[in-house]
Amino acid sequence: MSKRILLTGAQGQLGSELRRRVSMMPIPYELLPTDQADLDISDMSQVESAITAFKPDVIINAAAYTAVDKAETEPDVAFAVNAKGPENLAKVAADADIHLIHISTDYVFNGQHCTPWKVNDPVEPINVYGESKLAGEQAIQRYHPDALIIRTAWVYSRYGNNFVKTMIELMNARSELGVISDQIGTPTHAGRLAEICLSAVDHPSCKGLYHWTDAGVASWYDFAQAVYEIGSSLGLINNYCQLNAITTADYPTPAQRPSFSVMDCQQSRRDFGFARHWREQLNMMLQELQGGSGSE
């Protein structure tokens, strides 16, 4: 019998990639895609009704409040979605013996490291978004210890708004652009992350904390340079734009960001599948954009 998956945040980057992959799978999953308009995860009564009505085998929580800078002035909203939401899902899923797959972030770490963060390294978020996501992880661990939590980082996709699409727009409009070179992490394509979530659906014995990013390491400047090079070769960027490496201090933002958030993903590679280098994934995503399928 096909597995029934309740997906939250279905219109987001990860949610959209999940919907697309499920529609292409040879194994038929029965997917109920929901977004805030039909299932607000911060509302316990909506969570209870949706789960009772659909009776999923698995819930994938791709819903989140992801506006990192805005969260500094909207902590209540960030906590309602990123902490209360996962708590609601965890309570109802645990009671009904439903597997829960939840996505968290590298921003639970303070960035004061120079080797990849391991899953059990101490957490110490340095912004409200990170605090709210950590509270979500803790609620899940408390109410549904068998749930799977996958921390990821620097997510982009052909869907939604993200760094890659913003860079292409700016590079087409400007002759010069400063990009931060002293924050180091790993760009991660939401499409491959979606495949990892589906692999996890089929491995319900994998639980607890995992890290998943694409392979490799980059600064935002490296990432932007790759967008420029590949984007230009594909005709997505038709303008000379000089990229200048700048520091975090040169570009103050409301939220602080970790300076080093590369994560150790060894366990997830073993349990869920291989990773491509972030530049290869970026190339694939830009080719999709060039093919004209990036307007959603």
Ligand X SMILES: NC(=O)c1ccc[n+]([C@@H]2O[C@H](COP(=O)([O-])OP(=O)(O)OC[C@H]3O[C@@H](n4cnc5c(N)ncnc54)[C@H](OP(=O)(O)O)[C@@H]3O)[C@@H](O)[C@H]2O)c1
Give residues in contact with ligand X (CB under 6 A). 8-9, 11-15, 35-36, 39-42, 62-66, 81, 85, 103, 105, 133, 152-155, 160, 190
Structure tokens at 256: 């602080």
> From the CB of 62, what's the least distance to ligand X, in Å?
5
Q: Distance between CA atoms of 33 and 17, rounded to whole angstroms?
A: 12
> CA torsion angle for 172, 250, 255, 180 (degrees, to 10)?
50
Per the CB < 8 A criterion, the answer to whether 289 and 141 are in contact is no
In the complex, the smallest distance separating the C-beta of residue 235 from ligand X, rounded to whole angstroms, is 26
Structure tokens belonging to residue 262: 């590369």
DSSP 119-150: TTSPP--SSHHHHHHHHHHHHHHHH-TT-EEE
Give the residue with the Cβ less far from ligand X, 219 or 232: 219
Closest to 210 (Cα-Cα) out of 285, 283, 140, 160? 140
> Active site residue: 65, 107, 129, 228, which one?
129
Residue 230 contacts residue 283 (beta carbons within 8 Å) = yes
CA dist., res. 263 & res. 176, Å (int): 31
Q: What is the closest distance, in whole angstroms, from the C-beta atom of residue 256 to ligand X in the complex?
A: 15
Q: Per DSSP, what are the bridge partners of residue 31?
A: 5
Q: How far is the CB of 8 from ligand X (least distance, A)?
A: 5
30 - beta bridge partners? 4
* Residue with smaller CB distance to ligand X, 35 or 182: 35
CB-count exposure of residue 121 (10 Å: 0-12, 13-18, 19+)? middle
Instruction: Tell me the closest approach of the beta carbon of residue 188 to ligand X, in angstroms.
Output: 7
Residue 251 catalytic? no
Sign, CA torsion 48/15/196/156: negative
User: Which positions are annotated as active-site residues?
Assistant: 129
